[in-house]
Amino acid sequence: MAQVRMTRKSRKYLRRIQKTKTRYELQEIASEIQSELERRNLTYDEALNLGNQIHVRADSLPGDGLVYAISDRDAYRRTLELYLRDSVLTKTEQLLLWEERRRLGISAVEHNTLLNQLMISWTKQGKKVTVHRWIEPVEGGGDANAA
């Protein structure tokens, strides 16, 4: 990902993100950034960069709640939720998700964390989700799908 030149406003948000102690505070900052983007006081690239920083910071804080911010991870989360909507995550959908992860730079660890967070959230709502067994493709080719 290309480095975005940060404005004074962006640097101010970044300092707040780095000092934040709770996920709730991060969500408040993410909402402010969304508002600034809608008012065109921040560019989309700045908002995306800040959103990615919000998720990096959220990973270092205790708890397992989701933080919704404009970011690559949030775009991936929305895609993952779309595939989970029918309560089944098929091998084909997992392959498509793997391609999306590669495109967005989402690691397998981040994927598993998001999937677990969504599964916990959906279980609390009384929904049951089935994930088919799938083995991640090996770089350089080869058949990685196993029953």
Residues 43 and 79 in one domain: no
Is 70 exceeded by the pLDDT of residue 142?
Answer: no
pLDDT tens for 109-119 read: 888 888 888 88
Q: Is 53 part of any domain? A: yes
pLDDT, position 47: 93
Residues 85 and 114 in one domain: yes
pLDDT tens for 126-141 read: 888 777 776 777 665 5
**pTM over 0.85, yes/no:** no
Residues 53 and 83 in one domain: no
Q: Is 147 part of any domain? A: no
The CA R_g of the chain, rounded to the nearest whole Å, is: 17
Q: Is 145 part of any domain? A: no
Identify which has the larger pLDDT, 21 or 89.
Answer: 21
Q: Is 21 part of any domain? A: yes
Boundary-marking domain end, from 59, 80, 98: 59
What is the pLDDT averaged over residues 29-53?
93
Residue whose structure tokens are 């921040």: 42
Residues spanned by the domain of 99: 72-131
User: Structural domain tally of the chain?
Assistant: 2
Q: Is 16 part of any domain? A: yes
The pLDDT confidence band at residue 73, using thresholds 50, 70 and 90, is confident
Q: Is 30 part of any domain? A: yes
